[in-house]
Amino acid sequence: MKATKKKTKKETETLSNKKPETLVDKKGIRLDGRKLDELRPVKMEVGVLPNADGSAYLEQGRNKVLVGVYGPKEAHPRHIAQQDRAVIQCRYHMAPFSVDERKSPAPSRRDIELSKVIREALEPAVFLEYYPKTSIQVYIEILQADGGTRCAGITTAALALADAGIPMRDLVVACAAGKADGKIALDLMDTEDKIGEADVPVAYMPNLEAITLLQMDGNLSPEEFEKAINMAVEGCKQLYAKQKEALKSKYVVEEVEEE
């Protein structure tokens, strides 16, 4: 029997990181088998951290996100306190093991930027005026990353805020659409995000029909941009239904019919 030469670790990594020839085939099927307008498989759960006031966990494709919420409680340091409302303190953090190449545990410029972006996406949904001089702390930990983590973080954080019993105008849900191989696609995974031409993250409050976050990375025509936003909003609506199911599974006890 002829012996097969075992590939070295470096050769294996080179093969796994090889750029695909195409992101979307002629039938409109993407690398992971999804159609252009199809979300990745989603799993949501609330109340997963007993030591937090509110918590939630989300899996979206290969993304795994855990969020803990504390508060409202007295703001520290005191100089951040607002006389007429609460402040949201948000920390987005990617675990060192969340990506293929070990990430430094220290906050990066991207982590700091996304912490600010996520906080501003959540603020319109929360009745901050109910809790003056307090802070609401939101800790977002990306356990495994595969593209779209800012959107996954927003969706999970909104669930954790609701689990903490904090009054909200509506849940915030986020989803991205983008351009891959010249086609507009929903919920880009990491390879599509890195190689594709554009990415449009959107955060949305479905009941109020209000967008709380809109960003774009890349170039799109006005028609493509409008199509991407509409596709992202439709994705948000699908995820919104999953959010409500996750909350109902914990808090709503179905009535048992008497025999």
> Over 50: is that where the pLDDT of 10 sits?
no
Among 3.40.190.10, 3.30.230.70, 3.40.640.10, 3.40.50.150, name the CATH number for the domain at 32-247. 3.30.230.70
The token duo for 113 is 């930027």
pLDDT recorded at residue 15: 35
**pLDDT in the model for residue 5:** 41
**DSSP letters for 34-84:** -BTT-PPPEEEEE---TTSSEEEEEEETTEEEEEEEEEEEE-SSGGG--SS
pLDDT digits (tens, 9 = 90+) for 156-185: 999 999 999 999 999 999 999 999 999 999
* Average model confidence (pLDDT) across the chain: 90
pLDDT at 18 (0 to 100): 63
Question: Please, where are the H alpha helices in the chain?
Answer: 9-16, 109-122, 149-163, 190-195, 222-251
Residue whose C-alpha is closest to residue 135's, from 53, 67, 205: 53
Contact 89, 136 (CB under 8 A): yes
With bands split at pLDDT 50, 70 and 90, how would you rate the model's confidence at 100? confident
Across-strand partners of 144? 64
What does the pLDDT average to over 119-140?
Answer: 97
Q: Is the pLDDT of residue 8 over 60?
A: no
What pLDDT is attached to residue 17?
Answer: 54
pTM above 0.85, yes or no: yes
Q: What is the pLDDT of residues 221-259, one digit of tens each?
A: 999 999 999 999 999 999 999 999 999 999 886 544 444
